[in-house]
Amino acid sequence: MSGLSSSDFFSEIRQAKAPWAGGTINLPVFYYDASTLSIQFLVAVNRLRKLLPSPRIQPLRVTPWHSVLTISALEYRDCDIGPYNEVSLGIPMTLDHPSPLFTGTLNPVPTIPQVYIRHLPVTTDIALKAGIEFAGYPKFLAKIVFEKDGSWTSCHLQEGEQHILTLRGRAGELQDAQRSRIQPITVRGGYMLSSELIISERLQCQSQRSRDAQLDLGDHPIAQELKELRLNRMIGFQYAPQHQALLTPANESFKL
């Protein structure tokens, strides 16, 4: 399927109305019109482990010495809880058992990858509170602005007056991408929580060329955290200008 998925993506999926904040909220949450700008960096595994809340979380081993940090900027133009933007800082992982060395090159990435969500700033109060309540997401309110300049799309993230980061990507040739799934992993009350994010078929460009994506870091504590990781070379960039998605609440838990 090419372009924005039709409403068939949501066909025959029954949503439940869950009590929330004096009203109700539809679960799972449907995202009818969204875009994603994402970049992955190699990071020394010993530095990345310092950010993990449990020894059960094993970062994907891309090389014997490196794992991956992914930064994704998401623009939700139409969804069940209203439009909002977010930026996700995540660490692809496996639970309990280390991934094979050279995952992503000599060995395949898991069919449904797990990603520990380190930070997840959002732009609206309902996205903040619902995400924390239903899945323990590490959210905070921030200013997240998307801009287009020719083939470049940029996302500027700041909290208050402090610049956190600016992510830029250059769109190339769009190609069909299949439906995909991710299991976000969060932490609450001594447990790791797992949800499921399903992303529709879409048109997407991708690149491994460093000239097609840029990351600028500011002076915020999160920016300092990223600087201390000493991000290595970019290993992947993706841009999907329009897609749909479905996000469940937490549906599985594990002791830390």
Residue spans of the domains in the chain: they are 33-255
| Residue 111 pLDDT | 80
| Residue 110 pLDDT | 83
| Residue 7 pLDDT | 61
| Residue 101 pLDDT | 86
CATH 2.40.400.10 fits 33-255, yes or no: yes
Residues of the chain whose pLDDT is less than 50? 1-5
Nearest to 49 by CA among 39, 57, 41: 57
Q: How far apart are CA 217 and CA 186, in angstroms?
A: 24
Please, how many CA atoms are within 13 Å of residue 27, restricted to the half-sphere of its CB?
A: 18
Does a cis peptide bond (omega within 30 degrees of 0) precede residue 184?
A: no
Contact 238, 213 (CB under 8 A): no
| Residue 3 pLDDT | 44
